[in-house]
Every structure is written in C-alpha cells, then in structure tokens.
Structure 1
Amino acid sequence: MTCAELLIRLLRDRYGVDTLFGIPGVHTVELYRGLEASGVRHVTPRHEQGAGFMADGYARATGRPGVCLIITGPGMTNIATAMGQALADSVPMLVISSVNRRDTLGRGQGRLHELESQRNLVAGVARFSHTLLDPDGLPEVLARAFAVFQGQRPGPVHIEIPIDLFDAPVSPPRKWNAPTIYPAAPDPDGLAQAAQWLRDAQRPLVLLGGGCVKAPAAARELVTRLDAPTATTINAKGLLGDAHPLDLGANTGLPAVRRLAHEADVILAIGTELGETDYDVVFDDGFVLTGRLIRIDLDAQQLVRNQALSLGLVGDAAQALQGLLEHFPSPLNKQGVARASTTRDALNLAQDPTLAPFVPLCDTLREVLPEAIWVGDSTAPVYAANHLLALPAPRHFFNASTGYGTLGYGLPAALGAQLGQPQLPVIALVGDGGVMFTLSELATAVEYRLPVVILLWHNHGYEEIRRYMDNHGVERLGVDIQAPDFITLASGFGCLATRVDSPSELARALESRPTDGPFLVEIDASAWMAWCHDNASSAKELS
C-alpha cells in the first residue's frame, strides 16, 4: 500500500469520509490513483476557494468535517480565504495538500508551484498545519486532525504531503477503527455554582451560540426551566425551534434586546464567542453586560474575551446544557415569558422600515420551502433574515455575514450543503456583487445536477458599501459596478433562470422549479421595493 492509497483508506474506513472536494493537479495526481474505485465521491469545483466554501457548507449542514484535496502553492493561496471563514465560525475542515519534494523544501529553486512555506501561509487560518515527513506517521497526524474536530474548538486543519511520499510504501495500521474521543465536560462544582446564581437571579438572560447546535432538545428544555429570555447567534438560529416563547432570535444588536441584556443580573452564555458580528452589528460597542456573566466554552481563552467574566467553565456545550438541566428538576418562575414578549413587541421587526421589504420574501420562502436550508452571502436579504427568520431546527441557516465576512461564500457553500443533505431543499441567498466572486461554481451545480435555488438580489452594485460611503461623507467610488445579464449567463451554464418582481411571482417560480439541477431566480431590488411600497400603502388605505 502506498501513502496516497493509505490516506484515502483511512479517510473512508476510519473516519467515514464520503465526499472530497478538489481540483486535480500534476502534484496531486497520485492521490487520485484508485480513488474512483474507492466509493468516495469526488466533487470538482471550478476554483479552490469554491472547494473550501463547499467543504464549509457540507460541514455546517451535516456536522461532519468537510475534506479538500488541494495542490501546492496557488491551490493553498486560493483556499486560504475559505479557511479563514471556517476558522472564524469554528467549522471542521480538513485541507490536505501536496508540497514539493522533501529534498527541495525551502531552497527557493523556482520549482513548479513552489511556496517558501505553506505552513507559514496558513498558520493564521488553521488550528494547526503539519508537514508529513515520514509516511508511517500518516495515521497519527490524521488522528490529531480528527481529535481537534471531536474534542476541542473545531476549525480548519492543514496537512501537507511532499510529492515524493505519495507513492512511498507504508504498512497499513493494525486497527482501522477510529478512536472514540469525548470532549471535556464542565467542572461539576462550577455547574453547581452557575446553577445557584441562576436560581437566585431576578432577571436572568441566556445567550446560546453555534457550539450548542448538537443539543437542541437540551437547549430548549433548559431555557424553559430557567424561564429566561434567550438570544441565539446567527449560527445557532433554529436551536429553540420557530415559536419558543422565550426566543429573542439573533437580535442582540438591536436596542430592545440590548436594554434587556443591560438590565440582566445573571447572564448564561454557552458556546458563543460574544463576537462583534453577532452582538454588535451596528459596530458601536453598545452591547454591554453589567450582571454576573457565566460562560461555558471549549476554548479557555475565549472565556475572557469581549465581556467581563464572573464565572468561566471550560467544556462541551452539549454536556453543559445537560449538566445544568439536572440542577433544575422543575421550572423556575422569573417572568421570562413576559419579559421576552415585551422585548419582541418593542423590536416590532416586521414594521422596521429597513426589514419590512424582506418580510414577504422570508414568508414566501418559508411557505413554499418549509424544510429548506438557507445559505447566504453578504447581501441585503441575508442581513434581514438574520433578524427576521425563525426556523424549526439548527443547521438550517448559515451565512458569511458573521466572523470573517467574506464575499462569494453563498453559492459554493449552498452546493456543499446540498451534497451533504440531498433530501432537503437548499436556498442560496446571494447578491449581484458577491456572487461574481464565485459565479463559476454554477458550472459545478449544473454538472452534479444539484437542485439549489439561487436567489439573486440584484441591486446593481455594492449597496452596503454605497450606504456606508454616503453616511460617512465619502464620494461613491468603485461601488456602482457593471453587472452581466444573469439570465443569459445562467443559460450559458445550462442553468434554468427567471426574473421575478413580487412575492406571488416568486412563489409561482419556486413551485415549478426543476428537481434535477440549479434554478436561478433574479429579483430586481428596485422593483421589489416598489411592490412592497405600493402594497404597504394599499394596506394602510384599506385599514
């Protein structure tokens, strides 16, 4: 058995990997020897950044690591942005790359795809990067990677293999079974202390992040027993279901929730970094906690970032939720439902002038595609859905407007989600500016017949940056960009496409969407806004 063959066998038989994302190159061709017969699906994107975003979407939708095969040099520089997004959102991703022969490493000889140090390049976007110098060390380094995914705060891991090792002979391991690794459990005494503070609290508040998505039932039961208003991050959307009376949604950046947070005397934050793009989307540092803050996180350093800590517990969010439940055999009475209801009334999201035009958009999509996974880029419908949308389960909504905030994420990540969850509809929410970063992946969607609905919000440029320039007195430059005819472009890829201007047109289009390939639906932002204005005026006159 060669090192390359062992790699594929280990991924398939030890770690259950069923899908690889990659673009073959002369430096990785040996990895493909026998891959077709292995039963592992290989998906070829049109750019390595697309491979990374697909792996990211696959991982978020399934909970399993996304795995990429990447060539030396330009392949690594191309995928680095996708790794940055995955790192920011703690998404498990394994990037396996080639690197030049061992005897040429670091010598600057101008070899094909030579990069002085790929490990230095990816150091800031990976949990760790390893150069395999001994082929017999492959099982151990793969075990380290999956230990990160299972036992600590996940994120991308990079393993580079010199091209002269791919066909090196190796001995297969004595056992093919993967080790069982459990993440650390929070300290029992710490949980007891946290429970006592929550029991004594008059105005408790719960903040749940993406680390909790493995345990939605425990999360719902705990907040019910605590009778505490609860805000979720964008990556935790759906954790409490779509109609929980204590749910405040992902609205901690809005004044009504900020007031509630400021008044809370005890705050329980589990599996959330309390970061800016979830809690301070207006970027004024206005999310301030004055009560006792209890934080539970797999990452000890994260406990002391962003807000003043009173009690910190290092451990797995799912185990923390279950452990706290044991301290509350019966529900408390903290007037939480009433406090949450008052806060939601004050939010009045459907009447917010910046969000109201997107209410019929979200309602139509929920009505026609109730089980869909929503995957978004940085675009106006996504910003609105972050606040408006309620979903019945986690892992059904994620986007690139948080954390790293890269453009071009939505389309390829949606393809990854569709590959991971083929039984569910998937919606890609993209803008005319951001989609141009990775529009070539439309070819991938057509080739693999992925029935993703691509909802393209066309506002003729970079609207958010336009608005930011206007608000700061900067003359517009570089934001009113030329867009292609997306319908013609989609047709050239072999993708069915249409334009709609109203919710009824959108509903009809979605009801007749194809099931054997992608479907691009373009919405002209100006026409949609005009329809919303006219219908809002008509409703007001009738009332």
Structure 2
Amino acid sequence: MKTVGTYLVELLAAYGVDTVFGIPGVHTVEMYRGLPGSGIRHITPRHEQGAGFMADGYARTTGKPGVCFIISGPGLTNIATAMAQAYGDSVPMLVITSVNAPGRMGSGEGHLHELPDQRQVGRQFTAFSHTVLRAEELPQVIARAFAVFASARPRPVHIELPIDLLTLDAADLPPAQKRPAPTRPAPDPHAIAEAAAMCAAAKRPVIIAGGGAADAGAPLRALAEALDAPVVMTVNGRGTLPAGHPLGVPCSPAMGPTTALIEAADLVIAAGTEFGPTDFDFYETGGARITGKLIRIDIDPEQAMRGRPADLVLISDTKFALEALATSVSPHAAGDGAERAKTAREGVRAELNPVLRAGAHLMEVVRDTLPDVVIAGDSAQPVYAGCIDFAANKPRSWFCSATGYGTLGYALPAAAGALIGSGRPTVCLAGDGGIQFTLPELGSAREAELPLIVLLWNNNGYGEIKAYMEARGIEPIGVDIYTPDFLTIARGFGCEAEKLEDPSDLPAKLKAATQRNRPTVIEIDEAAYTAFVAAQTG
C-alpha cells in the first residue's frame, strides 16, 4: 500500500525538492517511508533549530525553498526561531510537521507533543500555516506553498498532517505532479514610463539594492551604468554589483558616509529592500532622510507601504522592473557617480575601529583566497564588520543573522545547508559565544562529509554585549562566560581543528580545508588578529 506519507514525498520530488532536513521521530516516520529511491537526500541535524537554519542557508544560496520534516509539538517550537529568522529575511522554507490526530489535537488531555493550537504557533512566522484534514487537500496545499515561493514575497510555509492521516492508503489520489506556478508580477508600463522620466531628470541618482535584487544583477548593473548611479547594497543585496565595481557601495546604509550619499541624491531607486531599521538605522539616529524623489520596487504591495513613503511604487518582481527600466532610460553622460561611490566607501572604511577593521580584513582574505566562496555569519565582531563594509563577488554569497530577527547560533548550520545546496566553498564565521548555541551541528556536518570551514573568532565571551554594558555604565554580568576547548571538541566530532598562530598562513589553511571530506575548525584569537592587521595597515 502507498501511504499518504509516501505520496507526500512523491509530491515534493515532483516539485524538484532534492534535500530534506529533519530528525526522524515516532510522529514523522511515515514521511520517511517514501524517501528511499525518491532521489531526495536526507540530512539529520542534531536539533530542529539546526534543521531550520540549514534549510535557510540552503535556500539563500540556491534560491529554492529549504524543506524540513519536523515532529509535532517540541519539533515545531524548536524550529520556530529559525523560521522567524527566515520570515524576517524573506527566505523560502517549507516546514512539514506532524500533529496529533483529530480528537486528540488540542484536546488538553496531555497527549504526546500536544499543543493547544499548533497551527496558530506556525502562523506567527509564515506566509501561511495549514492543517491537512483530508488527503485530497495535499496536492493543492503543496501547490499553494510553491506558488508563494515562486511568485510572491518568499517566506516560510508550515503544513501539518495528523499522524493518522499519514498512514492512510493513497491509492485513489491523483498522480503526484507539479502544478504550474503563477507568473511573477511585472511592472505597469505607464509606471515604467513615469519612472524613466524621473530618471531622465535626475542629476545625482542613487540606487539601493536589497535582498529582492539578488537575482537581478545584470539589469541592476545596466541601469546603474546608464544613470551613472552609485549602488548602495544592503547586507542581503551584497554582490548585486561585484566587488571592485566603481559604482558599488557595499556598505551599510546606516553609516554616516553612506547616509550622506543617499541624502544628497535627487532620486533614489530602492530595489527589493524593505528599508528595515537593522540595515538603515542600526544606530537609531533616524536613518537617512530622502530629500529627493523616491521610487520603490517591491513584490509585496503591503511592504511597499511600510517605511519610507515613495513618490512612485512599482509592484513587480525586481528583475522584471529593472529590466524594463534599464531599456527605457537613455544613458547619462559620464559624471561623478564613481567618485561619489568612492567617497562613501572610503568614508565608511575610515570609521571602522581596529577590531572591525580586522574583521573586514579577515572576510576579504576569505573572499580573495576562495573567489567562489559563500560566507554565512552569526552575530560576531567580524560579521558586524561585514555588515558595515564588505563587497561580495556575486549575489547569494554573503548573509548572516545579525540583521532582521538577529538570532545567535545561525552560522554553523546555515553554512552547512549552504554547502549542501550550492556545492561551493563555504565558510561559517562565528564567535565563541554564538557557536555554542548550535555547536553539535559539527556532528551533522561531519556525518555528511562536508568540507565546511569554520572560522571561530574567539574573544572569550560575549564581547560586543560586554562593551555595550560598559559604555552605559552597567557592571558586566553574564558576559564573561566559560570558554571551552573548542579544538578538542571539534576533534571529538571527527573534524580537523587548529589554532591560527600566524594570520599570514590563513590563505593556505583555507585552501587545504576545501580538499578535505570533513569540516575544518580554525580558531582565531581576536586580539592577535587585530594586532596583526594593525601592524599590516600601519
């Protein structure tokens, strides 16, 4: 008999799912019945939160939804943090959970994994959360999920199936096949004409590229070069102009020189950015004042009405809108765009303190040594430096959890998922405090034989929070935490592990790590690396 659980796997395979992250449990084993022979790889994390972060990293590098099989009750509450991070950063993720059978679901009788209303928990951080009560619903609800991923603002979707439903006979259900997804919205031609007229009148335009522009690099570059417009890239928009492009400003919009660039513009084109405070007003100073005209391009009409009010809103897939606009504008005469961009870049770099400058140096060494690298960051000093000032070589190459929802413990599992999805050299960049949230995921990375590189930035505690407390006259408590022997722990998981004694050796160690079939942990002492960079730069 083919069960509904097996039919579910067939549906996922029909939609091109090639990897599932999950920890088998008695409430989900029926989902696993159809995995052998399906062509879908299963990755077992050590915690459901790790499964969610792996799915997030997989999705960010591939553009495809990360898929998870999760048990009812504690499985969903464990993965909730990862789903909320993905929700905040518009990352596609499909979380399929079991739930107690009708009659036991939300009964209050204390059945295993029972929540009063599990679906309502999922609704807080998803595009939608749906309980499948009839097997016939399954093809439609899976199609709805993939329609969100393909044609709307991508966000997690939660689907739950009662455990008794998973065991039913699926013989009478239609063949598992993919339904055509709706097309992405294209811009209104009249709005494009209006936008082109605004571009023609602009003397000092600036483009802001967010995560929604990740797949729009070519038309973004064409438009920027036609308008001679500097391109300010948010964290999730980095790489939309490659490192070294003269118009690129891969710097936080919250920094003074970048803010000044935006405020001096007579036209700002905001492409695929929500103007989130963690990007645009991290220091809570009010952010850049847009004194010129503002064009917003967003796939989500509600989001386009939040934040900065625009003079013109294009509700469209960002790539479609930029393509239409790039073909509608006449090239401007060469002006001061490159100089304006250079002034902003150099101004931001000059404002970095020694520790942040060391972090930026570290990231650039990684990028230049491994040009195709993916870097996944936690909340740590070098990650903050990357958020402020780091140029990725291409999109979907640099992301972190320090913006948006801002969770700790993200980088290690997210980097593992990114490597599984992309096959590219991948680096986890984490601090000694944050990595302890998900340190056991070294085991899942070793089990999957991933040549993952973990750069562990060690300042023996929660250094950023300690400095924050001291700056406000608060006696530091709870921040000088016990620091374990990370290298011994890593070796216990079967990983390579070493301390970076000479920072000039880092490029050779990075290259060697990519040749292994297991993770490599390289511990970096913050004080030593900062002193090395200071000596190098004078």
Q: Which bracket does the TM-score occupy, shorter chain normalised?
A: over 0.9
Q: How does 1:367-446 map to 2 (within 5 A)?
A: 367-422=368-423, 424-446=424-446
Q: Please report how far the alpha carbon of residue 380 of structure 1 lies from its aligned counterpart in structure 2 after TM superposition.
A: 0.6
How many residues align? The count is 535
Counterpart of 2:233 in structure 1: which amino acid? T
Opposite residue 86 of structure 2, the aligned amino acid is A
Aligned to 1:223: 224
**TM-score under structure 1 length normalisation:** 0.95
Match of 2:44 in 1: 44
Counterpart of 1:28 in structure 2 is: 28
Q: What is the aligned-residue RMSD (CA, Å)?
A: 1.6
The 1:507–1:341 alpha-carbon spacing in structure 2 relative to 1, beyond 3 Å, is closer
Distance (whole Å) between structure 2 residues aligned to residue 334 and residue 108 of structure 1: 69
Letter matched to residue 302 of structure 2: Q
**Equivalent in the alignment of 1:147:** 147
**Which AA in structure 2 matches 1:71?**
I
Name the SS of the counterpart of 2:34 in structure 1. coil
The aligned residue for residue 103 of structure 2 is 103
Give the drift of 1:37.
2.3
Q: Structure 1 pair 278/519, CA: closer, same or farther in 2 (3 Å)?
A: same
CA distance in 2, matches of 1:175, 1:159: 17
| C-alpha deviation, 1:490, in angstroms | 0.6
1:267 alignment partner in structure 2: 268
Could you tell me which residue of structure 2 aligns to residue 499 of structure 1? 499
**Counterpart Cα distance in 1 of 2:97 and 2:45:** 16
SS of 1:323 mapped into structure 2:
helix
Range with bigger deviation, 289-298 or 69-78:
289-298
Cα deviation for residue 176 of structure 1 reads 1.8
The CA distance in 2 between the partners of 1:481 and 1:58, in whole Å, is: 31
% identity of equivalent residues = 48
Per the normalisation by structure 2, the TM-score is 0.96
Letter in 1 for 2:367: R
CA distance in structure 2 between the partners assigned to 1:450 and 1:23 by the alignment: 19
Q: Cα gap change, 1:175/1:25 in structure 2, threshold over 3 Å: closer, same or farther?
A: closer
SS at match of 2:103: helix
Contact 2:146–2:181 (CA under 8 A) maintained in structure 1 = no
Matches of 1:254 and 1:438, distance apart in 2: 31
Q: Is the 8 A contact 1:373 1:427 kept in 2?
A: yes
Where do 1:245-264 residues align within 5 Å? Answer: 245-264=246-265
Residues 131-140 or 273-282, more deviating: 273-282
**What displacement does 1:296 show?**
1.1
Deviation digits for residues 491-520 of structure 1, max 9, x if unmatched?
111111000144213233223325211000
Does structure 2 retain, via aligned residues, the 8 Å contact 1:372–1:427? yes
Displacement of 1:288 in angstroms is 1.9
Contact 1:350 / 1:356 at 8 angstroms: preserved in 2?
no
Shift, 1:222, TM fit: 1.1
Q: Provide Cα deviations, 1:69-124, integer angstroms capped at 9, x if missing partner.
A: 00000000000000000000000000000000112222111100101111111221
Pairing 1:102-181 to 2, within 5 Å after superposition: 102-170=102-170, 171-173=172-174, 176-181=177-182
CA distance in 1, matches of 2:127, 2:43: 25
Q: CA 1:113–1:348 in structure 2 vs 1: closer, same or farther (change >3 Å)?
A: closer
Question: In the aligned structure 1, how far is the partner of 2:508 from the partner of 2:228?
Answer: 42
Q: 1:258–1:287: 8 Å Cα contact kept in structure 2? A: yes
What is the Cα deviation at residue 460 of structure 1? 0.7
In 1, are the aligned partners of 2:49 and 2:80 still within 8 Å (CA)? yes
On the 8 A contact 1:133/1:162 being kept in 2, the answer is: yes
Contact 2:453 2:521 in 1 (8 A): yes
Match of 1:214 in 2: 215
Q: Distance in 1 between matches of 2:8 and 2:139?
A: 8
Structure 1 residues not aligned, in runs of 5+: none
Asked if 1 retains the 8 angstrom alpha-carbon contact of 2:251 and 2:258, the reply is no
Please report how far the alpha carbon of residue 349 of structure 1 lies from its aligned counterpart in structure 2 after TM superposition. 4.2
The letter of the residue matching 2:30 is E
* Partner residue, 2:524: 523
Distance 1:186 1:535 in 2: 50
Q: 2: CA distance between counterparts of 1:333 and 1:440?
A: 54
1:125 aligns to what SS in structure 2? coil
SS at match of 1:257: helix
Q: Work out whether residues 452 and 519 of structure 1, in 8 Å CA contact, stay in contact via their aligned partners in 2.
A: yes
